[in-house]
Structure 1
């Protein structure tokens, strides 16, 4: 793994620590050794003051995922307000919802002197910007929940579906739930969630009685919910009679 890029803030902290250790170390006077100025050597010029480290924030601020991107932008601004504006300079860039937009945003972030990239939100976009960030030696803190995009210099900060599903299933089993079903979108995230559900059910002793998927664009997946309800026995197969109590074998988690 290549070494991480040192930010100005990290450099300042390291120098401060070295100076503190040097100040606390016992000093022994050595009167016969004196350092006299050399008139032939020019004094070094003082370094120009450095500003706070720059963090590029790559979010979908336009397109179908604009609402999510704006929520994340608001959260980032609140966090920056709590930390203090002098601690970090936030540079927002719009990625849209496609990898091409993320690549353009990453190039703009690198050109702006970003020390780190926070984002993008989607796994495909993270994969697309990885070569750009690596070439510029800029670390990436992706907001994706797909751990497969992690690489040297690329960390995934999003909540993993495997972790979420495992905790829900384990909690259900510990509270007397004996039978469970899964309802997930028909996309990469849903596929990971369903796989995690099967594994967690087997580990926890839950009986998986049904799995139904629906198009991610469907905001009211009533058909998939109906299939799950019938698999659990909560709704009869004809869907006409009132719901009946669950069959023997434990409580039901939908």
Structure 2
């Protein structure tokens, strides 16, 4: 894959993520028009030379012929020129995203925090009842229906951000390098992992997805990370706690 293709794939993926998260501060890069030199054929150059000779002029001193020869030389490299210009344009697209990434991450964080707060308030009312529970249509649940609707809207926002967090963060800091979807938006301890069947650095050990509502049900702190290092630190804390526990088991085994 060429540099141009890599750049455009990166830009397309990141812009899709920005759109999916509904980040409004992003300014799309407007590509420059690729200007190619005026085309001239070898036959046209020959015709100009013949005309000059018939008129008794020195073709080497004719400005029109000089220009035509230069244009012809450039025309032979049109493809190379176009490819170079396309590569420069793709690089500008990438740079446009990277330049805006810091403000986009701030917007993403603020949007997530607002939606997470809405879910926290809804959780105080609905408790651990699933927000997608169809029994909400029954009269006994009508009083909580507005709360449930707000929770669903907030859930959609947080879910979109969780799903696209990696694409935006990669634009600023590069790939995360580990699979850690939970640690991107929550801070589960080792005990949380054990108690709720969470795979270390990933989804539930049963294979199911999790979201902010799940974290609230489990009593786990929700906080969207704003850097790869923050996520790595959260994963490392759990792994270190697990290593200490295993070491303690070995030590206690020797003591007995």
TM-score normalized by structure 1?
A: 0.23
TM-score normalized by structure 2?
A: 0.22
Q: Select the structure that is richer in helix.
A: 2
Q: Which protein shows a greater Rg?
A: 2
Q: Select the structure that is richer in strand.
A: 1
The higher-RCO structure (CA 8 Å, 6+ apart) is 2
